[in-house]
Amino acid sequence: MAGVTTLNLRTIKLRSGEQFRDGREIRLEPLELGGQRYLPVPELVTADLAITRASTGTVFELGFRVRLHGPCYRCLEDAVLEVPIAAREYEATNPGDSDELRTPYLEDERLDLSAWARDALALELPDKILCRPDCAGLCPVCGRDLNREPHDHGEPEPDTRWSALASLRDQL
């Protein structure tokens, strides 16, 4: 698949107690959140990858920073979210049948950095992406942006049946 960054661990010969560190470029895909699309900027991040080998297993660490651009959940204006990522995975030398002792991103000695980075980013996202924490959003009555035009519509409109009755009374 094009654009997927993997690392072949066979090319890295680590003995117990040794560590491999490298900067790896990883292409990030747009994310869906609350029905909206958020674009990672830059698309290509340089992540710090560290692989530490122990006799019982291998620890994988991935760190990078990314900015997400997309619509504010409340007002739909552009919002930018800065997301620092520090992810960690573990694969035991002899994991047996236990899923907890293996990482889902390692298959046949290939580490899928793209999938890992995508999931790590998704885990760090808040429920809602806002243009600013106190965004006032859109007016529920008229739909205008309350950040730019703060207003309220006062008391609810008087019941039209009463005004109809009032105009009837005026005619009498």
Q: Which residues bind Zn ion (CB under 5 A)?
A: 72, 74-75, 131, 135, 139, 141-142
* Degrees, nearest 5: CA angle 150-154-155: 160
Q: Minimum distance from CB of 84 to Zn ion (Å)? A: 22
Q: Minimum distance from CB of 129 to Zn ion (Å)? A: 9
Cα 18 to Cα 4: distance, rounded to the nearest angstrom: 27
- Output DSSP code: residue 144: -
Q: Minimum distance from CB of 3 to Zn ion (Å)? A: 31
Question: CB-wise, 41 or 141, nearer to Zn ion?
Answer: 141
Q: Minimum distance from CB of 170 to Zn ion (Å)? A: 30
What is the end-to-end Cα distance of the chain in Å, rounded?
A: 81
- The count of other CB atoms within 10 Å of the CB of residue 135 is 18
Cα 64 to Cα 23: distance, rounded to the nearest angstrom: 10
H or E element, residue 50: strand 44-53
- Of 32, 48, 50, which is closest to residue 40 (Cα–Cα)? 32
Q: Minimum distance from CB of 79 to Zn ion (Å)? A: 6
H or E element, residue 170: helix 160-171
Residue 98 phi/psi, 5-degree rounding, is -80, 125
